[in-house]
Amino acid sequence: AVEDETPHPRQSVTVRVPASSANCGPGYDCIGLAVDLWTEVTVSRAEKFEITAEGDGAAEMPKDESNLLVTGVKAAYDTAEKPMPPLKYHVVSRIPYARGLGSSSAAIVAGIIAGLVLAGHRLPVWGSESLLQIAATIEGHPDNVAPVIYGGFQIGIHNGTRWVTERVPCPPGTQLVMFIPDFIGKTSAARGVLSDTISRADAAFNIGRVAFLVHALAMGNLDNLKWGVQDRMHQPQRAEALYQHLYPMIKAAEEAGACCAYLSGAGPTVMALTSGASGDIFTQREKERTDFSVAKAMMQVAQTFGVKGRIVVTLPTNEGARVVKVDPPFSSEYITFRDNV
């Protein structure tokens, strides 16, 4: 259901969306983490359709209506039961494109939010999570779109009627150290190497690991994370067929002090979680953390396997997508919203 609470359509809107890291080992298609790398999308009314982009992956990004950003906007207007006007899109991308960091889900969610704002409509959340329903229906699963919408660690399932999510706490001081290869990872190829069936033993293995992962996060037991991210459902198959560097890199990261490491989404990015960060890391003694040693170990493995790429160190984020600029603004002489939106 859509509530027509803002009947005045907007002329333009800028939406900020985070990257995300899905699966987190055994949580195939149901667990994801919001990552503190952000893309900003501006959608404006125009005389004709246009997409421009700058930043990470801008050259690889589709510039026609196949772009998932456009898919999201269309879904918003369809939900609002309003005709979609000609629009122009400008993307400032800081999420690596097609690297297993949720660039597609970020585009979908940004498009839906932008479309709703431009159309002047709002969606109910409590008891329905309507925005999640639209996004997960487009994506096919909630593991990326849920953290993009809400931030944090998210568990998402379909309860037979609709998609539902719950947040899992993220231990303080957690950092994300990721090796991002230079090559694109196609989700279709990564799914193509997986079998349609798994054994009872492998199912039991993954069930136990997911439970261990959620418990370790909820209790802040960092020592158990390395067991909690183990997987038999997709990582071994993808490592054998596509990413020979995966398990050596996981092993090297953990030996260098990482709490855990896993294949981010469908790959090719390898994600490691480290601990010990407090305040601004550039004023903190380096030996109190393990991010640098883990990054060095991961890069050494990459060089051994001849895989070119880069290391990015950032944090999980508890914040999800949000509007950062809109014309005309929501703020007025009586109330000022964050960032004067």
Q: What Rg do the C-alpha atoms of the chain give, in angstroms?
A: 20
Measured between alpha carbons, how far is 167 from 34 in angstroms, rounded to an integer? 11
Is the confidence at residue 8, as pLDDT, over 80? no
Contacts of 55 (CB under 8 A, 6+ apart): 39, 91, 92, 93, 94
* Bridge-based pairing state of the strands 87-93 and 50-55: parallel
Is the confidence at residue 186, as pLDDT, over 80? no
First to last CA, the chain: 25
Is the confidence at residue 254, as pLDDT, over 80? yes
CB 15 within 8 A of CB 325: no
> Interior CA angle at 290 toward 224 and 242, to 5°?
70
CA 232 → CA 202, 237, 309, 322, 325, distances in Å? 6, 8, 26, 36, 44
Nearest of 62, 72, 65 to residue 49 by alpha carbon: 65
For the segment 57-75, the average pLDDT, to the nearest whole number, is 95
**Residues above pLDDT 70, as percent of the chain:** 98
**CA 305 from centroid of its chain's CA atoms:** 27
**The pLDDT value given to residue 265:** 95
Is the confidence at residue 7, as pLDDT, over 80? no
- pLDDT category, 3, cuts 50, 70, 90? very low
Buried b / exposed e over 229-262, threshold 16 CB at 10 Å, is bbbbbbbebbbeebbebbbbbbebbbebbbbbbb
Sign of the torsion formed by the C-alpha atoms of 172, 173, 174 and 176 = positive
CB 250 within 8 A of CB 193: no
Residue 328: exposure state from Cβ atoms within 10 A (0-12, 13-18, ≥19): exposed
pLDDT, one tens digit per residue, over 163-176 is 999 999 999 999 99
Is the confidence at residue 2, as pLDDT, over 60? no
**The pLDDT value given to residue 5:** 53
**The pLDDT value given to residue 255:** 97
- pLDDT category, 333, cuts 50, 70, 90? confident
Nearest of 211, 248, 245, 249 to residue 227 by alpha carbon: 211
**The pLDDT value given to residue 1:** 44
Residue 25: exposure state from Cβ atoms within 10 A (0-12, 13-18, ≥19): buried
Question: Mean pLDDT for the chain?
Answer: 94
**The pLDDT value given to residue 278:** 85
Measured between alpha carbons, how far is 311 from 292 in angstroms, rounded to an integer? 10
**The pLDDT value given to residue 188:** 79
Is the confidence at residue 302, as pLDDT, over 90? yes
pLDDT, one tens digit per residue, over 83-119 is 999 999 999 999 999 999 999 999 999 999 999 999 9
**The pLDDT value given to residue 153:** 97
* Bridge-based pairing state of the strands 270-274 and 175-181: antiparallel
For the segment 238-245, the average pLDDT, to the nearest whole number, is 94
